A and B are shown apart, each in its own frame.
Chain A
């Protein structure tokens, strides 16, 4: 059993061919353990979003392999990948995360309902997830009745509803003001502390500071990384 909830091993992604060939990622290896939050930073076009898409099976690598909770995505067919996204991996995008025709609870319950869970139970799980992110009172509101920050919290709840334990967040604070953005990061941090594994793409250092590890991408390659920060209580142990 692997120690990583999500692991990319020497992953490469090339778009196009011949003269139009573009290397979005080249030999990238990253692992995220349960309870860990890894931030990925880099300039525009560095491959951050591509990395996230490969991590959740939305796209397939040209080389290397991706593993989610020990399952190799390369060995899955389309149905298998979809099942993985229903049960293991949750996405939070920069904006437009929620389906406008569904309420907050229904948006959160969506992956469970798609998995065949009965409406009542799916709603119960959704309400639990909404409570965990502090927006249970918005359960029956539609997205256009919520603020940006509230929508992002609902998106985080959906990403971790039911058995999902892997959170992939692509610039989740990009469309928010700084105060709200901080609040959203706090929620993501809290969920990771509760056991989820998080891969966060951001271009803001103050948001990356919430992560246990920061990886720097440039032109599809890892050019630097901070290493894993020790747990806070271990710092206190060292001090005493």
Chain B
């Protein structure tokens, strides 16, 4: 096992734990994106450049974008619901 492979494996182990333990959704999405980038590094170091290429775009761009859009929609809905009930407006 080369040093790069070992480093990539450690990055993945730490990154995955960070993603799971991040409490706030927005930060979690960012952590997930960075974790995906580490995963691409892992695939590349294990001689799977084809997989690494798709992984970069899918997990560092594609998935976070969908999650961010969904989060925004959910907040929008929560805010308008709070307004209807006359309660304090949530941020």
B is bound to A: no
- Seen from chain A, the residues whose Cβ lies within 8 Å of a Cβ on chain B are none
Which residues of B pack against A, CB within 8 Å? none
